[in-house]
Amino acid sequence: MHSNLFQHPFSSTNSRNLTKENMANTLLISPYHSGSHKSWAEGLQKHSSHSIDILSLPGQNWKWRMHGAAVTLAQQVLDRNIQPDLVLADDMLDLATFIALTRKQLPNTPFALYMHENQLLYPLAPDSEQGPMRRNWGVRERQYVLINWKSMLAADKIFFNSQFHLDALFAELPRFLRHYADFNEEGTVDILRKKSAVLPVGIHKWVDVARPIPPEPNCPTILWNQRWEFDKNPAGFFAALRRYKQDGGRMKLIVCGESFGKTPEVFEQAEKEFEKELLHFGYANRGQYSELLSQSDIVLSTAHHEFFGISVLEAIQAGAIPLLPNRLSYPELIPAEYHEKLLYEAADDLNAKLHQIGAQFLQLSDLKNGLRKNAQAYSWEQVIGQYDQEISSLVHIS
C-alpha cells in the first residue's frame, strides 16, 4: 500500500473499468452530514466505481456528534445487519468506540478515516462565546482532540485532504501529548504518520455557461464564499475592501456562504457599509451559487484557518482570480509560477495586489486559463482514480 498517493497534477488513472466481482461495498459514515462533509461524501458516492453507501446524521450539535454518533450509528449497523467490505468514516466519528461496538459483526472489516479537519489545530475564538471550538476555562477542550487521536489509532489507514493538514497536525500532536505527565504515548505519532496519506477533496463543477462580460472596466466583482465564522477572518476581509475603496478602488461585491450559530457582527456592519457595492448578501442555494460564481472576478480570502480550500477552488474553476494568504493550504492550491502575483504576505501587499488585479482583470485571460486548468485537476473526475485505488488496496482487491 502506498504511503502517499498525492501527486500534482493528479494521475488521470480511472478505475471505472472495475468488474462487478471487484467492486467493494463501502460504508461511508458521515456523522455531521452538512457542508463540505456532505459534499465530499455524496461526490465520492456519485463518482466511485465501488459501491458507496452513506450512513449519516444531520449536521448539527457537533460536540454531541463526536461523543454520541458512534453509539447511534453502530446500533444502526447492528440492527440492519450491515456487513461492508470497508468502513470509511470522517473525522467527526469516534471511530474507536464505533469499532468496539461493532466488532462482533465486523471482525475482519478494514476501517479508514478521512480527516477533513481536526480539533487540535482548529483556532480558538477570542472569547468563550464565539466559534464552534469554545474555550474551557481558558484552554482548548482537549476531549475532542483525544477523540480524533484515538480514532486515528483505531484506523487501518488515515487520509488527509491536504499535505499542509497532514504536516501541521503531526508537527503539533507531539507537543499536545507531552502535556500529560506520564504514559503520554508520544511514540504513537510515528505510527500514525506511517499509515497516513494525502487524498484531496474532489470538487464539483458548478458553472457550465460562459462568463458574462463585466458591465464596467476597472470594477471587478469580488467574492466571499466561505463560512460566516471568525476563523475565516471576515473582519480582515472587509477591512481590505474598505482600504481598497478608500484608495480609489472600484468594485462590486458578492457575500455568500453558510452561517452556523451566532454570525459575527462584522457581517451586519458590512451589509450597511457596502450597500452600494453589494450584488448579493446572504446564503445562496445551489442554483444561485452557480450564478454568483459565474459573475465573480476575484475571490479573496483573509482566512486564519484553512485545511483545504474547496470554496476557493470552486471560484477558480468558474474563472475567478484568487488573492490568498501565503500560508495554510493555499500555496498547495496555486501553481508556483503564480505565487508572487496571487499570494500576499500582509495587508500592504494585499492592497497592492488587489489594486493591480482590479485594474487588469479583464486582460488576464492566460492567467485565468492556467488557474482553471490547475483547479480542474481537483475535480472528482480527476481524483476518483486515487480514491478507487485506495479502496481496492484496503480491501485487498487486485
Q: Give pLDDT, residue 13.
A: 42
Q: What distances in angstroms separate CA 54 from CA 19, 83, 88, 278, one per listed residue?
A: 22, 13, 10, 39
Structure-block grid coordinates of residue 91: 473525522
Domain positions in the chain are 20-202+379-394, 221-376
Q: Give pLDDT, residue 11.
A: 41
Q: pLDDT (tens digit, 0 to 9) for every residue of the chain, 398 residues total? A: 333 333 343 444 444 556 666 899 999 999 999 989 999 999 999 999 999 999 999 999 999 999 999 999 999 999 999 999 999 999 999 999 999 999 999 999 999 999 999 999 988 776 655 555 555 544 678 999 999 999 999 999 999 999 999 999 999 999 999 989 999 999 999 999 999 999 999 998 877 656 667 667 789 999 999 999 999 999 999 999 999 999 999 999 999 998 877 889 999 999 999 999 999 999 999 889 999 999 999 999 999 999 999 999 999 999 999 999 999 999 999 999 999 999 999 999 999 999 999 999 999 999 999 999 999 999 999 999 999 999 999 998 64
| Residues 75, 93: Cα–Cα separation, whole Å | 14
Q: Give pLDDT, residue 205.
A: 82
Number of alpha carbons in the 13 Å side-chain half-sphere of residue 123: 15
Per CATH, is 20-202+379-394 categorized as 3.40.50.720? Answer: no
CATH number for region 221-376: 3.40.50.2000
Q: Give pLDDT, residue 124.
A: 79
Structure-block grid coordinates of residue 312: 476557493
- Tell which phi-psi region holds residue 366, choosing left (phi > 0), alpha (psi between -120 and 50) or beta: alpha
Structure-block grid coordinates of residue 69: 454518533
**Residues 6+ positions from 375 with CB-CB distance below 8 Å:** 203, 313, 316, 317, 333
Q: Give pLDDT, residue 221.
A: 97
Same fold, 20-202+379-394 and 221-376: yes
Q: Give pLDDT, residue 129.
A: 56
